[in-house]
A and B are shown apart, each in its own frame.
Chain A
Amino acid sequence: MKDVLKRIVFGKREKYWWMNALVPLISILLAFIVGAIFIKITGRSPVVAYKLLFGASGLFPGPYWKSHFAEMLLSSSMYIATGLGFAIAAKGGLFNIGAEGHFIVGGIAAAYLGYAKPFAGLPKFIHLPLIIVGVMLAGGIWGAIAGYLKAKRGIHEVITTIMLNWIALYLIEAWLVTGPMKAAVETGVSGTPYISLSAKLPKIFPPTRLNISIIIILAVTFLVWYLFYKTTFGYEIRTMGHTLIFGMEAPKAAGINVERRTIQTMFIAGAVAALGGAFMILGVLFQYPPIFEGGYGFDGIAVALIGQNEPLGVILAGILIGALRTGATTVQLAHIPKTFPSIIEGFTVAFIALQMLIRYWIMKFVMRKKKSIQSEMGGGAK
């Protein structure tokens, strides 16, 4: 009875389904412990560091909480976008390293549509949706290239997405931004021209810079969840992901058009990750600068892995990484570089890669508990 209830309430069919949530939690905890040891070894106080980190992360109320909270959600929305980009592809059994490329392709598309003449004069309620659609198309096409190469030519997507990241980076930074899209010299702006007022994302929490990006991405996350768990399309993609190790024979036998679904999955993944780049341009920078401080795409991989590729998990992990990055600006007070969260993030991902070991530990613990209960109950007999 209890089992049936669990299946209905949680929708989980595995026996130890709770482990899927426990593994990331333990990984995060272990990573914080390793991080603390690392700080201690280099002669600083982990207590002070973590206090500063979380104090300014926006997760807990405190001085300047309002602005920290806004900054956290602002960056979280970008991490959730790139995290979803990875998670969507992962659901279909694809390993998408390309979120970094999709992010900047989305960024440059947003910048162009934001300042270019025919669009810049439009009213906001037409201009902004137009940009979002354009950005998703651009990112989607960039993603679909890798999907196409995988489906039609059988080239591993890890390799193509890494290559496409660099191609995007060089074509944008060493051609578009310094060439055809360069701002006029008289304006004194380096990088692309600034976007028009009608292209900026509306603010929702003045006086902070928080804008509707977080609402957009939460809505998109819901749509992704709906797509995967409530539609035939999503079911087919999940089938592909589950049977990946058997060479996709089962989905093919079931009549799924694996090639087309692969391209479509990569298109959606690219489109969603590109949104992150649009948030950056339309809500934070307002132009594409000559040198773009990236990394959101690669952090997105970590976000998705910590969130176990589930939409809800990606939101939580995105908020965690966003909070760490926001808090990191203040750890410099304790003479700790602001790249410190990367260490935590790196170790968390390493522990998730080691999940076989963590699962083994948990099982051992569970078995011992079970045994001790058994021996207590049947103590006399044995």
Chain B
Amino acid sequence: MNSNIPFLNASIAQALDYTAPILFAALGGVMSENAGVVNIALEGMMRFAAFFGVWGSFVSGNAWVGLLWGVGIGIVLGALHAYITVKWAGDQIISGVAINVMAMGMVTYLLESIFRTTGYSPPVAYFGAPASKIHLTFLKGIPILGAFAELTILIWFALILVVVLHFVLYHTVLGLRIRAVGENPHAAETLGINVFKIKWFAVIAGSVLAAFGGLALSLGTLSSFTNSMAMGKGFIGLAAMIFGKWTPFGALGAILIFACAQVLQLFMQGTATGFAKLIPLGFYLSLPYMLTIGALIGVVGKAVGPASDGVPYKKES
């Protein structure tokens, strides 16, 4: 047998670990923006949820309780964003900026006042512990599939969610309504769809998904909260959503490309020779963002969002 298989599988598993938080964030964006509400607060929501998840797990000693706390703060933040942008037709970007700024200040404040540390929380019960991972021992040793032998439940959830969200958006009445509201809310209203209700639902659901992204960071990859979270992963998620043309599978594909760039970069740092060595690290790190702009320019296919994305909806009286 080839001795490279464990290495290959480990690399893929690493890529999946990198993928999950960003995928959650991107799917949150897909949900919200298909209903016409831009959410640039994905980053802040991830930060809040990453912290609350660790807090809940710290208090209870149970990672599932942490998960619930994270989802709870996701609902609260989603409701705040919806209250500002849907109920009062406030500017969606400004609201997003507000949540991001709040996330910086408030989470650091809570981190210092609850754990009495500045940089990171103490380790807590998490989903990445060997006992809580999902073991599919029969896959071990098989190339590529072997990477799926030992994953956290959150990674599985993220992957399954892509299919679920695709089904909901494109094969159910609810999904049709969400997309109708994002494309043309006035037309949707005349068909008897409650535009505000759909928007409220989509924004909160999207925010909860972003919260899962934060949880995948602090309770999946790591077992504690570090103050640099979410390290721009929310913004990569935003980029992936656009690169993936506002669809769940598109977002997944985009993130897998980003993840490959990431793994490639880690690989290059160690072993690159010749021409590849000449390309500095910064180019690999900024590749996802350059690709996204490239996608928007039309180099990699044209990316067009929902028609009424970002436009506050006001009922005509």
Secondary structure at the B interface, as helix, strand, loop or mixed, is helix
Please indicate the chain B residues that have their CB under 8 angstroms from the CB of A302 in the complex.
Answer: 97, 101
Q: Which one, B88, B105, B282, B298, contacts A342 given CB within 8 A?
A: B105
- Contact call B106/A342, Cβ cutoff below 8 A: yes
The count of chain B contact residues (Cβ–Cβ below 8 Å) is: 49
Interface size on A, residues (CB 8 A): 54
Q: Please judge, given known A-B contacts A336-B109, A346-B99, whether A175 and B283 are in contact too, CB under 8 Å.
A: yes
Q: Looking at the assembled complex, report how far the CB atom of B228 sits from the nearest CB atom of chain A, in whole angstroms.
A: 11
Write the A260-281 contact mask toward B (1 if CB under 8 angstroms, else 0): 0000000000000000000000
Determine if B5 is an interface residue (Cβ-Cβ < 8 Å). no
User: Given A339-B109, A343-B105, A174 and B94 touching (CB < 8 A)?
Assistant: no
Known: A340-B109, A343-B106. A350 touches B95 (CB 8 A): yes
Give the residues from 176 to 213 in chain A that come closer than 8 angstroms, CB to CB, to chain B: 176, 178-179
Q: Which A residues are in CB contact (< 8 Å) with B281?
A: 174-175, 178
Residues of A within 8 A of B310 (CB): 156
Whether the Cβ atoms of A350 and B113 lie closer than 8 Å is: no
Cα A343 to Cα B103 with chains together (Å): 8
Are A175 and B282 within 8 A (Cβ)?
Answer: yes
Task: Confirm or deny: B280 has a beta carbon within 8 angstroms of a beta carbon on chain A.
Answer: yes
Contacts of B99 in A (CB 8 A): 346, 350
B286 near A349: Cβ-Cβ < 8 Å: no
B102 lies within 8 A of A346 (CB): yes
Query: Is A171 a contact of B286 with CB atoms below 8 Å?
Result: yes
Nearest opposing residue in chain B for A344, CB measure:
B105
Chain A residues 325 to 361 lying within 8 A of chain B, measured CB to CB, are 335-337, 339-347, 349-350, 352-357
Q: Would you call A301 an interface residue if the criterion is a C-beta within 8 Å of the partner chain's C-beta atoms?
A: yes
Q: How far is the CA of A341 from the CA of B297 in the complex (A)?
A: 39
Residues of A close to B235: CB separation below 8 A: 162, 166
- Is B259's beta carbon under 8 Å from chain A? no
A153-B298, A155-B297 known; A298+B282 contact, CB < 8 A: no
Q: Mark B73-102, 1 if CB is under 8 A from A, else 0.
A: 000000010011100111101110111111
Chain B's closest residue to A173 (CB) is B282
Complex Cα gap A97–B103 (Å): 17
Whole-angstrom distance from the CB of A362 to the nearest CB of chain B?
14
Residues of A within 8 A of B (CB): 38, 42-44, 95, 97, 149, 153, 155-156, 158-160, 162-164, 166-167, 169-176, 178-179, 295, 298-299, 301-302, 305, 335-337, 339-347, 349-350, 352-357
Q: Please report B residues at the A interface, Cβ cutoff 8 Å.
A: 38, 40, 80, 83-85, 88-91, 93-95, 97-106, 108-113, 118, 232, 235, 238-239, 242, 280-283, 285-286, 289-290, 292-293, 296-298, 310
22 A-B Cβ contacts within 8 A?
Answer: A155-B296, A156-B310, A159-B292, A159-B296, A162-B40, A166-B289, A169-B286, A171-B286, A172-B282, A174-B285, A175-B281, A295-B104, A298-B101, A342-B104, A342-B108, A346-B103, A347-B102, A350-B98, A353-B85, A354-B88, A355-B90, A356-B89
